[in-house]
Amino acid sequence: MVDVQLFLRRYNEVWNEPDAERRRRRIAELWTEEGAHYMETNAFVGHVAIEDRIRSTYERYVGTGEYIFEIDSSFNYHHDAVRLRWFMVPQSGGNVVAAGTVFILLDQYGRIQTDYQFSDAI
């Protein structure tokens, strides 16, 4: 059984992690080696590709000091599948500037096999 609260905290932390080595280790903990992260326009398969995707997002939004990613406290989990909503908000506080829904399929050990990202209207 997956500790979903812990999983969600770690998943969110990886998107906000400033230390590249810690981010790399967390990706290896969260995703299987063949794990995939899918967006509407791109696919990232394997730890290196996922790390590049997360690093790029971090540098563009979080590393500037402008934004931070948060996960909504309401989520769904059953049969090794997780559905959650995320928000990008100003680090200084304020309204949501971007949002999305994530659908994740986990393996038998609670690691991400597939991670589907959908952009939501705000």
Calculate the dihedral angle through the C-alpha atoms of 95, 98, 104, 110, rounding to the nearest 10 degrees: -50
The rounded Cα 80 to chain-centroid distance in angstroms is: 16
Q: Which one-letter DSSP state was computed for residue 122?
A: -
For the chain, what are the domain ranges? 4-120
The full DSSP string for 5-57 is HHHHHHHHHHHH---HHHHHHHHHHHEEEEEEEE-SS-EEESHHHHHHHHHHH
Q: Residue 62 has what pLDDT? A: 98
Q: How far apart are CA 81 and CA 79, in angstroms?
A: 6
Tell me the residue type at 44: F
* CATH placement of domain 4-120: 3.10.450.50
Q: Which residues of the chain have pLDDT under 70?
A: none
Q: Residue 1 has what pLDDT? A: 72
pTM above 0.75, yes or no: yes
